[in-house]
Amino acid sequence: MRVRDWLVLTVLVVDAVVLAVLELMFLPLGFDGYLLPHTLGGAPLPVSALVAALTTPWLVGVAGRVSPRMLVAAAPLIGWFLAVVVFGMFGPGGDLVLVSDWRSLLLFACGALPSALVLGKVLATTLGPSR
């Protein structure tokens, strides 16, 4: 890999980590009267799971174009996952940022599953059919 490829990969991993932190911060968002109006009986709005479902697979796909090696292509997914776990469990000041309900599971599922599918596609495309 060239220096430019390492720089692009570093930016992709940093983007994944920043997105993971932002997704964690907006995970408790809901119609509870604090940020959004108190309508729908305070129903949660897990928009950060949608953001994770769109951005993390895209970052993995771009990393797969940088290099088809598995560890390089999976670097944004690994960075995202570690950031969600570390910042979610041991957040700023030791706070638990990861909410303990279905929204956390949804965030993990929407971020990791589509990214794993994109990673599988990258690896299948570069490895080719077995003979």
For residue 11, what pLDDT is reported? 96
For residue 131, what pLDDT is reported? 46
Cβ-in-10-Å burial (0-12, 13-18, 19+) of 61 comes to middle
- Contact in structure between 49 and 103 (CB atoms under 8 Å): yes
Query: Nearest CA to 97 among 21, 16, 19, 18?
Result: 21
pLDDT digits (tens, 9 = 90+) for 2-57: 899 899 999 999 999 999 999 998 888 877 666 666 777 777 778 899 999 999 99
Domain annotation covers residue 130: no
What span, in angstroms and rounded, lies between the C-alpha atoms of 57 and 119? 8
Q: How many CA atoms lie within 13 A of 85 on its CB side?
A: 7
Range of the domain at 67: 3-125
φ, ψ of residue 30 in degrees (nearest 5):
-165, 175
pLDDT digits (tens, 9 = 90+) for 98-127: 878 898 999 999 999 999 999 999 888 876
Query: Which amino acid belongs to residue 59?
Result: L
Q: How many domains does the chain have?
A: 1
